[in-house]
Structure 1
Amino acid sequence: MRYLANVRRGLTTGMLTMAITLGVLGPSTAPALAASSRQAQPSNTTPEQVTTTTGGPSASSKTLGTAAASRNLQLTLSRVSPTSVTAQDDLVVTGVARNFSARALKNVTVSLRFSYTALDGRDAVVDWVEKGDVATTGTLLKSQDLGSIRAKQSVPFTLTVPAGGLGLSSWSSSFGPRPFSLVASSAAGRQLDAIRSTLVWAPQGSDSKLGLTLLAPLTSVVPSTTAGLATEEAAAELLPDSRLSRILTATDDPAIGWAVDPALLAAAQSLKEGGISDAATKDDEEADGDEPTSSSSASPSQPPDNEAATELGISNETAKTAGTAWLSRITSGRKKRTVLGLPYADTDLNSLLKGGKSSGLLRQSDKLGESIEKEALGSSLYSRIAWPADGQISRQAIDGLVDTGHQSVILSEGQQPADPEISYTPNGKSTVRSKDNTLTGLLYDDELSGLFTDSGRDPGAETTQTMLAVLAAISTESAVTTSDSQSRQVLAVAPRNWDPRPGDVQRLTSALREASWVSLSSLKKLGQSSAVDRESHRYGRKALRSELPKGNLSNALAMDRELGNIAPALINNQDVVQRLEQRITSLLSYAWRSDLDGQAQARRAVMDDVGDLTGKVQLLIGTESKVFTARSALIPVTVDNKTDFDLRVSVSFSAGSGQLKIDRQPDPVTILAGHRQSFRVEATAIATGNVLVQTKLLTGEGTKQRVLGSPQTFEVKVRPKWESWGMIGMAVLLGLLLLVGLLRSFRRNKTRPKVPLSTIPDIDDEATRAARKATKEAAPRVATDEFPAANAPDTPSAPADVTDSAPIQRSAGATERSPQGSGTGEDKLRASGTGSASGTPGTPRGMHEQKSSSVPTMAATKGAERRSPTMPKENR
């Protein structure tokens, strides 16, 4: 049974790992373990260089159950040709024998042994390669004497079996994998080392082709808060000899699909355009808790996934060249290849979609990735297929993926075993369900994925031969047990931290293209294949415990919300928003699972950067209590913009009760960087009372308005009658003041001393008297002017009682002069307050016809008589 075989394989793997740890045994015999325990070598490293750098047997050396393995000699299988053997083909097996001991090994012989019995099924192939008994390959096909191998020396060998030498018949021998072994022995017959491998016997080709889809991720494995920014670390990941560049070289064949992190495209594009950004590098150093430095202590070619100094010494020109070249390789490699777009920064989907409330963050991550893909590649990648990095998915994550428009999810086949159990390998397709939603599951074969991964770590051809044999066995299973064997589709993927040797992967893909039983396929064909019934997918406590801390998600959601609120206000600075979005999303990268201790420091650094933008825009309400005393008035607030960017914002007011009505909301305005702006809203008082008024700072317009910061609340004491009562009170006060003034005036009149009316001089009399005086004074001057001094004796003398020098006696009242030419020639005195010259009391005078003082004067000068309308007729 396949299940039991997997159990046995797991136990064997555990025992071998323990043996290596204790130093009792040599490296494991399994190709997967051998590759995983070996450090990745540069793409141009030869097998001989591997030997000299490691200083001992590599991890591909084998420990056998039937013979003691020598720690001094190691055999490596370099190539088996052809890929599929027929009766007409010469079988050529090449390899290398290495002596790691300090002394020479004499008379070493290498033998090629073979078994005619086919390996029945994929489990039999794996069991043979991992722990098979070399004695079962009893037929000796070929041997070669290597002679003496000096200490630390490598000797190549080639074993050729002519056509027909296998002893298999084209008619009687069926298609399928056959076991063979390479055994190194001494002259005394002691076995020094052995290799177990396979070849595929294909006398007439395979009757069916197995569809195989290969997928490799292009993601960063370095945890960072600056994913996608032009940092020095990003440039190091794109250098020609970096891990990502080795993946591109290894997957040069378009049969291998790519799953690309858009953050890498963003970094390559930024480096191409402007080189390394000092601000982005500083942000990365602050997130790591390092002080920015200016010295460089690392080689520019040092891979970023190795421990390196903070400064890698990469020049701007080198960074631009690396970004340009890497982006060009992605653009040209997209042709005729399956390319998926991952969420930005390779988000940890299970950690992100925890709780079912953060699908908006995933939607934003996808949107950000699509915009970057269009800018860097000219068009967006297909991003409706999700790929959790650990091959597992929670039910909450399924709901979140459905909510964000995803249609399929790539998972490990081990999460959904066939139910009921079957004896063949089914299509890698399933249905993944949550309580309310379903997704199409694209299941990758764990065993094939391990072999695909190890093909890039194995300096020999052992892994390639094992994978060809397993695929041949699967092809045989499907041909026997199913009627749709022509459409059988399986999937193999590489892990996120894959660091392959390009030449070894290229050897595998070349062999797969030559294999008659394999058809290199695509995810589309896998999704169109039929599915068998499977168990519900598994997501246990172990997977739950390995998620990112809850603080990463909660803080990322809060920062994203604040950033989304201020984004519409930044009119011409959306690049600032995108940079902060990239940093927030970086906190949820799957790469952070490898550095849980550094997450807190990184999270604080990003929070500080977001807070520097959103926290510098404040809504100031002044006092928390305001008095509204009028029927209609303005309520003022102030917005303080302390950022370095111009913001377009508005303010809204809402009353907590109907006692106060907001008539009209303020219009949006643009506030310059470092300035303040006052907003005043007109409100109308409806009824007396205390009303809570809430004011919000808004960005955007229309239905897309967002609230920036926390709403502010203040109390308004609505007293609309105070204005009326105040006016009434002022009117009453003014009335009282007027009344008091009148009373005081009345009292003053009563206490004032009374003056007799007769003592008041008459204005007309005063004017007449002044006129007479002027006439008298003017008479001598006139006479002198008209009659010269020579005629003075002829001038009549003045009356005896009138002289020029005689003083004029003023009367208490008015005087009346006789008409010119009258006989009296004198003025008659009139008693004060009377209307006649005789002193007899007369009628009081009223309004005079002429009030000007010039009239009497002119009358007196001409000698005319002034007549008073109140004067008695007899006195005129």
Structure 2
Amino acid sequence: MAEAAETQETPSAAACRWSRHLATLLTGVALLLGLVQLPAAPAARAEPSGSRPVDVSVHTLTPAAPKQDDTLTVSGTVTNTGGSTVTDAHVGLRVGSQINSRVDADETGSRSPSGTDGSEIGKHTQKIDKLPPGAGRDFSISLPVKDLDLSRDGVYQLGVSLSGRTADQGYERVLGITQTLLTWQPSAIEGKKTQLTFLWPLISATHLTARTESDQQQTPIFPNDDLAAELAPGGRLQQLVALGKDLPITWVIDPDLLATVEAMTKSYRVGGPDGRTTPGRGQAVAKQWLSQLQTAVSGDQVVALPFGDPDLASLAHHGKDVPGSLSHLQSATELASTTVDTILGVKPRTDFAWPVDGAVDSSIIDVATSAGAHNVIARSDSFRDRTSYSPTAARQIGSGNTAVVADARMSTGFQGDLVRAGEYSLAVQRFVAQSLLVNRQAPDNERSIVVAPQRMPTASQAQAMAAAIKALSDNRWTQPVNLGDAAAAKPDPDANQQVPGTGSYPESLREQELSTKAFQEIQKTQSTLDGFKVILTSQDRVVTPFGSAIMREMSASWRGDRKGAAEFREAVQSYLYGLTRRVELIKKSDVTLSGRSATIPITVHNGLLQGIEGLHLVLESSQTNRLQVDRSQPVKINGGQNQSVKFETRANANGPVRVTARLYTAEGQPYGDPVVFTVHVTSITPMVLIVIAGGVLLLVLAGLRIYIKRKRSAARATEGGEPGADGEGPDDGGPGDDRPARPGDPAPDTGSRDTEPSGSGEKVEH
């Protein structure tokens, strides 16, 4: 009966209802026909977003996460982007609905508000003077937080609107509105606090090659002096150090940056387009920055990336198939520890690897852990979880390795152009809101969340990051921990621990990687260095700068700059090749060789400042049957000197012989270019032939004379043996007397006697 009474309608009530419907219908018809016009609205009301001619920008909202007794201050600017002057305007605040979704928090402020704008807090507004087209005005509204009448803890949309009139529409309406986020958690939460780790990267682009001046100090030559601007007050790197010193963060440092800045603290030069160099001017800011950094990192955890911040994904996808490429990663890891310890006096953690944007696949994990990094910093948009909440960052991925999965939304929240105050403020508010929303997902579970921002944040991005971290400094729902503790946290059993496959790597990132050709060129430079260092007496003067340059060639900072990377590799290789050419053989002209043996000198030039050793000079004859040479002679030369190496030769026949001189290392590898010259062998010259012919003639004549003389002597002896031939008896007992001696014959005369002088002497001219 009661329900029937509540729904029953009297005839008079029905008549009134029909009369109201008729009036509404007639009004609608009149509007369509343009016969009537609505009166001015008594209060501002919403208009489609596209029709709002005023742009509202919130520059600051402080405090970012207010407490019960705080005063909230919202400031910014309003700009008339329409064609009509705005009058009777004021700025007001409107508390919108509560946000419970992380997606909605990300989208707040990134799109035009839709739906109702919410009720304006009437007594806290600011009047705005007449606003002509294109004009802008600043505003600032402060009010007690309690006047916002926030019903319960959480994240709220906070609208900031400008209401006023325009000439074409004279009633008051909302002419512009923007939304930001207000995180409301007035006291410490009753559940578990979120363990929050924020990485603070100190990484820069490559600024130093292997090029140095030709002096004993090896004064470095920088391609430009851009790094000095980053280190100067207000510069990107100066801001990162100044802001980070008071924050609960984990420093992630590329040791190459430290080594480069340390080189700037001394004398250095800057190259110019004409090849000339000028003195660098960054010594003072470099010294100041290093001093400030030493103070800032004191007591904080420092993670050192491999020297030069090598691109792990490029190595995994293109470099590992080039022999020797992965060895650079091991060297870079070892150099990282000594560099940070030497310059900062801090023993860093070197067991963390950080692929670009935290994007990983199985091949990247394999490469990253091959050099001893058992912890890989990934990101949740790579390790996709199916849980309804954000799980703890640490994941056990097998073989004793851990993936530290950073939260993607919070890690990417500071990208973009945050120079604009509105974007800056919104980034801070989003981060604070996301941190509370993460906690509220599972308030009874203690979870460890890691934030890994972009590798090289700008100064404005760093300022926004610092403001967001400071907003959480009272630890109402978060608690800071370092990266080491985050990696050691107990993994969530429901979290995804499966490493993504190689096909899941984002194509947009793959397009930015170093190519296989790039790694082949890197190895070519390494091979040149290996062949060069073995002849040096002071290897460190060359191995250290070029070894560092080769590591820089693999840097992740070359992403998106293939041309710059190629030019850097070419500059390093060309400079190294030029040094190797300073040890060379001096070109030799053709040689004429007289005599059967001679000495051929070959000159070796050492244009380096240091001595060389371990080389052998080899001389090779193209016709050993015509010319034989000593094959090898050791070479050892002090810096800036020449050495003449002499080779003994033996000629066997006349004619031209091509001879090749070449340097070889102790391992038998050719060094430098060979020198080829011709030896014209004339070991038996015309003059020598004349002398020899004269000597032979004299010998023949002498022999003939002796023969004739003996012939005559024999003839006289024969004539003396015939009786009565010359009135004398036979020569008894004389030479040639063949008859036997008889008794009574006189004894032979054996005494001395005068002899006839001999003929003229015999000579052979040689």
TM superposition score category, shorter chain reference: 0.5 to 0.7
Aligned-partner SS, 1:548: coil
Q: Superposition pairs for residues 294-373 of structure 1, below 5 Å? A: 316=280, 318-353=281-316, 354-356=318-320, 357=323, 358-373=325-340
Write the distance in 2 (CA, Å) between the matches of 1:834 and 1:424: 146
Write the distance in 2 (CA, Å) between the matches of 1:522 and 1:189: 53
How many angstroms does 1:220 deviate by?
2.4
Structure 1 residues 455, 522: closer, same or farther in 2, change over 3 A? farther
Deviations 1:831-868 (A, max 9, x none): 99799xxxx995233555xx799xxxxxxxxxxxxxxx
How many angstroms does 1:554 deviate by?
0.8
| 2:157 is the alignment partner of 1:179 | yes
Structure 1 residues 744, 834: closer, same or farther in 2, change over 3 A? closer
CA contact (8 A) 1:565 1:706 kept: no
Write the distance in 2 (CA, Å) between the matches of 1:474 and 1:197: 18
Deviations 1:744-795 (A, max 9, x none): 99998567434459989xxxxxxxxxxxxxxxxxxxxxxxxxxxxxxxxxxx
Write the distance in 2 (CA, Å) between the matches of 1:155 and 1:424: 40
Write the distance in 1 (CA, Å) between the matches of 2:468 and 2:87: 35
Aligned-partner SS, 1:114: strand
| 2:553 is the alignment partner of 1:569 | no
2:349 is matched with: 382
How many angstroms does 1:541 deviate by?
4.3
How many angstroms does 1:472 deviate by?
0.6
1:551 is matched with: 517
1:606 is matched with: 572
Write the distance in 2 (CA, Å) between the matches of 1:229 and 1:442: 39
1:753 to 683, 691, 714: 714
How many angstroms does 1:185 deviate by?
0.9
2:88 is matched with: 107
2:188 to 205, 209, 218: 205
Q: Superposition pairs for residues 766-781 of structure 1, below 5 Å? A: none
Write the distance in 2 (CA, Å) between the matches of 1:680 and 1:529: 73
Write the distance in 2 (CA, Å) between the matches of 1:590 and 1:82: 35
Aligned-partner SS, 1:597: helix
How many angstroms does 1:160 deviate by?
0.8
CA contact (8 A) 1:66 1:134 kept: no
Write the distance in 2 (CA, Å) between the matches of 1:672 and 1:222: 34
Structure 1 residues 463, 601: closer, same or farther in 2, change over 3 A? closer
Amino acid of the structure 1 residue aligned with 2:642:
H
2:685 is matched with: none
1:80 to 62, 76, 85: 62
1:506 is matched with: 466
Structure 1 residues 401, 834: closer, same or farther in 2, change over 3 A? closer
Amino acid of the structure 2 residue aligned with 1:244:
L
1:490 to 435, 450, 460: 450
Amino acid of the structure 1 residue aligned with 2:333:
D
How many angstroms does 1:709 deviate by?
4.3
| 2:404 is the alignment partner of 1:429 | no
1:445 to 386, 402, 407: 407
1:722 is matched with: none
CA contact (8 A) 1:566 1:708 kept: no
Write the distance in 2 (CA, Å) between the matches of 1:834 and 1:75: 154
CA contact (8 A) 2:56 2:79 kept: yes
1:272 is matched with: 265
Write the distance in 1 (CA, Å) between the matches of 2:187 and 2:240: 35
Write the distance in 1 (CA, Å) between the matches of 2:180 and 2:362: 42
1:468 to 415, 429, 432: 432
Q: Superposition pairs for residues 837-848 of structure 1, below 5 Å? A: 842-845=745-748, 847=750
Amino acid of the structure 1 residue aligned with 2:496:
D
Structure 1 residues 113, 232: closer, same or farther in 2, change over 3 A? closer
Q: Superposition pairs for residues 510-525 of structure 1, below 5 Å? A: 510-525=470-485
| 2:228 is the alignment partner of 1:235 | yes
Q: Superposition pairs for residues 598-677 of structure 1, below 5 Å? A: 598-617=564-583, 640=604, 642-644=606-608, 645-649=610-614, 670-673=636-639, 674-676=641-643
2:216 is matched with: none
CA contact (8 A) 2:247 2:470 kept: no
Amino acid of the structure 1 residue aligned with 2:237:
L
Total equivalences in the alignment? 603
Aligned-partner SS, 2:537: coil
Amino acid of the structure 2 residue aligned with 1:444:
A
Deviations 1:377-415 (A, max 9, x none): 345643331222343245444333333222222222211
How many angstroms does 1:518 deviate by?
1.3
Structure 1 residues 331, 638: closer, same or farther in 2, change over 3 A? farther
1:97 is matched with: 77
Query: Relative to structure 2, which stretch is displaced further, 247-256 or 439-448?
Result: 247-256
Structure 1 residues 138, 100: closer, same or farther in 2, change over 3 A? closer
Amino acid of the structure 1 residue aligned with 2:143:
T
Deviations 1:280-322 (A, max 9, x none): x33xx5xxxx43368xxxxxxxxxxxxxxxxxxx964x41112
CA contact (8 A) 2:159 2:178 kept: yes
1:580 is matched with: 546
How many angstroms does 1:611 deviate by?
1.0
How many angstroms does 1:416 deviate by?
1.3
Aligned-partner SS, 1:569: coil
Deviations 1:119-140 (A, max 9, x none): 2242343344445546264474
Query: Relative to structure 2, which stretch is displaced further, 321-330 or 669-678?
Result: 669-678
Aligned-partner SS, 2:74: strand
Write the distance in 2 (CA, Å) between the matches of 1:706 and 1:189: 92
CA contact (8 A) 2:380 2:406 kept: yes
| 2:136 is the alignment partner of 1:157 | no
Structure 1 residues 167, 527: closer, same or farther in 2, change over 3 A? same
Structure 1 residues 529, 583: closer, same or farther in 2, change over 3 A? same
Aligned-partner SS, 2:359: coil
How many angstroms does 1:609 deviate by?
1.0
| 2:332 is the alignment partner of 1:404 | no
Amino acid of the structure 1 residue aligned with 2:233:
P
How many angstroms does 1:469 deviate by?
1.4
Deviations 1:493-545 (A, max 9, x none): 23435342665443222212134001122111210123322443232544333
Structure 1 residues 224, 273: closer, same or farther in 2, change over 3 A? closer
Q: Superposition pairs for residues 120-159 of structure 1, below 5 Å? A: 120-131=100-111, 133=114, 135=116, 137-138=118-119, 140=121, 142-150=123-131, 152-159=135-142
| 2:416 is the alignment partner of 1:416 | no
Write the distance in 2 (CA, Å) between the matches of 1:443 and 1:518: 18
Structure 1 residues 82, 672: closer, same or farther in 2, change over 3 A? closer
5+ residue gaps, structure 1: 1-63, 295-313, 623-635, 654-664, 682-694, 700-704, 713-740, 761-811, 814-829, 854-876
How many angstroms does 1:268 deviate by?
1.6
Aligned-partner SS, 1:237: helix
Structure 1 residues 477, 379: closer, same or farther in 2, change over 3 A? closer
Amino acid of the structure 2 residue aligned with 1:99:
T
1:34 is matched with: none
Structure 1 residues 268, 167: closer, same or farther in 2, change over 3 A? closer
Structure number, greater radius of gyration? 1
Write the distance in 1 (CA, Å) between the matches of 2:638 and 2:276: 35
5+ residue gaps, structure 2: 1-45, 166-170, 212-219, 589-599, 619-630, 649-661, 675-701, 722-726, 735-742, 755-766
1:216 is matched with: 200
Structure 1 residues 360, 83: closer, same or farther in 2, change over 3 A? same
CA contact (8 A) 2:255 2:340 kept: yes
Structure 1 residues 678, 82: closer, same or farther in 2, change over 3 A? closer
How many angstroms does 1:556 deviate by?
1.0
Structure 1 residues 403, 535: closer, same or farther in 2, change over 3 A? closer
2:699 is matched with: none
Write the distance in 2 (CA, Å) between the matches of 1:559 and 1:210: 49
CA contact (8 A) 2:448 2:489 kept: yes
